[in-house]
Amino acid sequence: MNINLLFWILILLASIWAAHWGSDKLAEPLNKLRQQWGLTEAAGAAFVALATASPEIGTNTASAIQGLSDIGLGNLLGSNIVSVPAIVTVAYFAAQKNSQNKPDNFSQPLKIKLEALTVQTIPYLLIIGLAALLTIPKPWRGLQPIDGWLMLVAYFIYLAQAIIRNQQKGTKVNWKTEEIIVAIAGILALIIGAYFTVTATEKIVSILGIAKLIGGLFITSTLSIIPEVFATWSVAKSGQFTAATTSVIADNTATMTLAFFPLALVSLPVENIKLYSVNLFFVALLGVFYSLFIYFGKPKYSFSFKEVLVLNSIYIIYLLVMIFGVLR
């Protein structure tokens, strides 16, 4: 392997780890606020997504600042596609290992509270539809500053409805100075990690001779999901199935809006409308199937093993369409 390529791959992995470490440290005080305000699991996921989606937001901000917006756009679309089957699959198998289930019995469905449908998935689909309306039609094709502001407003409407719905009585939490200091350190790690994530991706695609958009779409987004996979396994195994599984939709909503914002501010044109449209279509398709499985599974379950396979099959179809159709 090319030594330079290996070096920048290691830098990319270290940068992604630093960004996710930072987001974890930022998420801890937000989790305390969630408990203090009495937010439900699904509503809490929307709030904590301000931190958990921050690596993607930071990466896209850095890509816009560095003049490498195509990497950010690829990361935005790719992370919203690969994350759904990956997180649901990991949550499903982690749930089988939960103490409430029989050991090694992989037939137990993954149960999600129905509030996830109205609080998370329906608003997410509406936001995807808004993104398509703002960026695909020829008269105003591409990402423009007005689009970014509209998506920013859409996110805060989504966040407000998530917080207001089904709010419960809060619990008292203790705050420590050390937690605030660590959270600030997390923000610094997040900024540094985001900057070098973009830099490393740009170096890797240059060495491989591929487009920056493709690098963000398949390299940055795929590697970025790894820390989230480990976090999902831990949360689902502890029995917090709704929080573990709906966090992916909360993160994707934040990515589709807050990570969209910096790219729109620098007026990013969509040069390959076919590639962009196909990716946005699969972002929506996975969101639709995710929603349908929650709706039709009520009240007994949300994701059975067959439905987990369907989500993974959609991702495989996406890869085949991209390889043999769009990128050919």
Question: Which residue carries 């809490």 as its tokens?
Answer: 44
pLDDT value of position 172: 76
Contact predicate 214/327, CB 8 Å: yes
- Residue among 203, 202, 235 nearest 70 (CA): 202
Residue ranges, the chain, pLDDT below 50:
99, 101, 103
pLDDT value of position 45: 74
Its pTM stands at 0.87
- Residue among 278, 233, 213, 287 nearest 256 (CA): 287
Angle at 282 between CA 270 and CA 226, to 5 degrees: 95
pLDDT value of position 123: 93
Model confidence pLDDT, tens digit, residues 182-234: 888 888 998 999 999 999 999 999 999 999 999 999 999 988 888 778 778 87
Query: Which are the contacts of 190, defined by CB distance < 8 A and separation ≥ 6?
Result: 18, 19, 22, 23, 26, 54, 55, 58
DSSP 136: S
Q: Which amino acid is at 326?
A: V
Model confidence pLDDT, tens digit, residues 80-107: 999 999 999 988 888 877 645 454 555 6
